[in-house]
Amino acid sequence: MTAKRVAFINEKGGTCKTTLAVNCAAWLAERKGKRVLLIDLDTQGHAGKSLGIDVRSAPITIADVLLDGSVEPSKAVLPTAVEGLDILPSNRSLFDLPERLATAHDKHTRLRSAVDSLTEKHDYDFVIFDAPPSLGVVTMSIMVATKEVIVPVALTYFALDGCAEVVQTVERVRKEHRRKDLTVSHVVPTLYRRTRMANEVLAKLSEYFEGRLAPTLGFNVKIDEAQSHGQTIWEYAPGSRGAEMIEAIAGAIFD
C-alpha cells in the first residue's frame, strides 16, 4: 500500500502551516483511524512541541537522517500521545543543513529516499510534512518527496505574493525533477478576521484558486492555547469553534 503524501508549505512564517499539519495529522489518526507519520522540517521543532514532545532532547532527528546516510530513518521516529500518529521530530540541529548539504549532488532527493524507506517498512496511510518558512533546500526537498502541496495563507496584504512564490516553485520542481504528478491541491485562508483587507484578499484567492480553496481558518484563541499546552485541538478544546473550523478544513483536504 502506498501512503498518501501531503505537505503544508508557505515561505512566510506564521501562516498556520504547523497548526494545520499537526491537527490534520491528529484528525486523520484519531477521527479516521489512519496510520500517520508527521515529519517536522522546521528548526523550531514546533510540530513536536505541539504534541508535547521534548524535541531538544530527541536522540535522533530529521537532521541526522538527512545528513548521515547510515542513520536508519525508522530510528528517528517517535510515537505520540495520539494513537496512530508518529512523528519524525526536528530541532535546532537542522539549522546548518543547507550549508552542510551545499555540494551534495543528492541534496534534494535525500528526504524522498528516507520517506520511501519508511513507507516500505511501516504501513502508514499518510505522510504529512510540516515545512519551514523559506523556499530553500529543505522546502525543495519536501516538494520532491511529496505529491500534494497545501498552501496555508494568512489573510494579510502580502499573502498573495507568498502564495505565488509557492506556485512558481512547484512549477519548477515539476519541470526540473520531472514530477508531473506534483500539485498544489488546496489553498487554506488562515487567521481570518472580519476586515475589509482580509475580505479583499480572500476574494482574490477564491478567484485565482477556484475549486481549490479550502474553508477558512478564522482567528480562535483556543488553537494558540492548545499549542502552548502541547496538545492537539482535539485533546484541548474539542468542542471549540477552532476545532470546528479545523475539522471542516481537514474534511475538505482529506475526505
- Can you tell me which of 5, 9, 17, 209 binds ligand ADP, judged by CB under 6 A? 17
C-alpha dist (Å) from residue 25 to 12, 100, 132: 21, 30, 17
227 makes contact with ligand ADP (CB under 6 A): yes
Please report, as residue ranges, which positions from 167 to 196 form the binding site for ligand ADP (by CB under 6 A).
191
d(CA 153, CA 170): 16
231 makes contact with ligand ADP (CB under 6 A): no
> Which residue from 27, 21, 67 is spatially nearest to 45, judged by alpha carbons?
21
> Which residue from 158, 121, 162 is spatially nearest to 139, judged by alpha carbons?
162
Residue closer to ligand ADP (CB basis): 119 or 129: 129
CB of 66 to ligand ADP, least distance (A): 20
**In one letter, which amino acid is 179?**
R
Q: Are 77 and 90 in contact (CB under 8 A)?
A: no
17 makes contact with Mg ion (CB under 5 A): yes
Instruction: For the chain, state the CA radius of gyration.
Output: 17
34 makes contact with Mg ion (CB under 5 A): no
Which of these ranges, 11-19, 26-34, 99-107, 178-186, lies near ligand ADP under the rule CB under 6 A?
11-19
Q: E-assigned strands of 41-173?
A: 78-79, 85-88, 126-130, 148-154
CB of 203 to ligand ADP, least distance (A): 20
- Can you tell me which of 166, 223, 243, 250 binds ligand ADP, judged by CB under 6 A? 223
145 makes contact with ligand ADP (CB under 6 A): no
Query: Which residues contact ligand ADP by CB under 6 A?
Result: 13-19, 46, 133, 191, 217, 219-221, 223-224, 227, 242
